[in-house]
Amino acid sequence: MVAAASRAAQHPLHHANGPVSQVGSGKFSCVSERYLHDYTLDAAFTAQYLLGDELGCGGFGFVCSAIHRRSGVEVAVKFVLKRKIPSRGWVFDPLYRGGNALPSEIAILRRLSHDNIVRFLDFYEDAVFFYVVTEYHGTPWATKTARLNAVPLMSPRVASLQALDRPSLSQAIPCRRRSSCDLFECIEQHERFTEMQAQRVFGQIVSAIYHLHSRGYVHRDLKDENCLVDRTFTVKLVDFGSAAPLPDGSRLFDRFLGTVQYAAPEILRGEKYRGPEAEVWALGCCLYIMLSGEVPFVAPAQALHGTFTPCRYPLSPACLHLLGRLLEKSDRRRITILEVVQHPWLRDYVTLV
């Protein structure tokens, strides 16, 4: 399977966000190796974790697997480059070093607890990076053994504890890119979902977004690549690097930090926006992709008019109705997240906490 940086150009589910840096030819095999080559990791981190494979990369940094030395449980570690965090991406935390600034991603993740949102575990910091440690979730869908009918419950990923009990500041740097565990790869491996499969997966994504909005936040980069899926079809929403508090009063977002294929018409028109309505549009894009294996709009001009390509496969009237409401070009007439939760096609598949 092609790497995330190049796979977008080879598949109809095209994405615009590129990696933080292209891997140079020859010397480095992945982004993490380029940045961590000859780099001394934070001592407190290496005392707790042994770094593993690269899992992905994006606009703010890259993600690697790691093994907790004491328990042997695998986790995900997002290395966020401090210089890449925009000025609006910082918050002041009175409990952190006497009121120092933290990336908003950490501040938001620490306040969330939901079965379909990746669980925050810890964070570390050095002069260059923040290390955001979360649970590891997902099935590498590009492997031959990953199939939709493989649904036995999985225990936590546990590695052998041999050779993990001694911390090392000069541990080997990951030089292998692991196959992705996201919804993009899951769909790519299986072409499309049946309505019942889509209801199960989409219901979990909606549950996560509903919880996020109810806590006063918006994700702002909802897409299939930010939804991790395991072989039981359990979904976890990840990558809160663009997340932000919901605007209050008359204040609106004036910058778009997501992926253009998921951008709502009001964003494409250059208008200021609140967030929840645009997130509902992105939900519609996700649902369409699940059901068809293709993006709903081949060009921004098509999205501006809200005329998505008819799905090649037969869909129930209730499903088509929900798609039409999600992909309504007017943000004022678009369905709300509460109405999505209560929609007849989906309401039996959404769990609210």
The 8-class DSSP code of residue 293 comes to S
Handedness of CA 11, 15, 19, 22 (dihedral sign): positive
122 catalytically annotated:
no
Whether residue 205 sits in one domain with residue 141: no
For residue 1, is it within any domain?
no
Long-range contacts of 161-165 (CB under 8 A, 24+ apart): 161/69, 161/72, 164/50, 164/67, 164/69, 164/72, 165/69
pLDDT of residue 80: 97
pLDDT (tens digit per residue) in 5-24: 334 433 333 333 344 544 44
Low-confidence ranges of the chain (pLDDT < 50): 1-19, 21-25, 145-170
The SS3 assignment for 184 reads helix
Whether residue 171 sits in one domain with residue 268: no
Whether residue 145 sits in one domain with residue 230: no
For residue 17, is it within any domain?
yes
pLDDT of residue 17: 37
Whether residue 160 sits in one domain with residue 45: yes
Contact 134, 122 (CB under 8 A): no
User: At how many degrees (to 10) do helices 276-292 and 183-190 cross?
Assistant: 20
Q: Is 306 annotated as a binding residue?
A: no
For residue 345, is it within any domain?
yes
Domain count, the chain: 2
Whether residue 156 sits in one domain with residue 209: no
Q: Is 92 annotated as a binding residue?
A: no
- 221, 224, 230, 331: the catalytic one is 221
Whether residue 259 sits in one domain with residue 150: no
pLDDT of residue 279: 97
User: Which residue range(s) make up the domain with 215?
Assistant: 184-349
Domain boundary among 121, 149, 178: 178
Q: Report the predicted TM-score, pTM, of the whole model to 2 decimal places.
A: 0.83
Q: Is 56 annotated as a binding residue?
A: yes
Whether residue 270 sits in one domain with residue 124: no
Whether residue 191 sits in one domain with residue 147: no
Q: Is 129 annotated as a binding residue?
A: no
pLDDT of residue 171: 54
For residue 106, is it within any domain?
yes
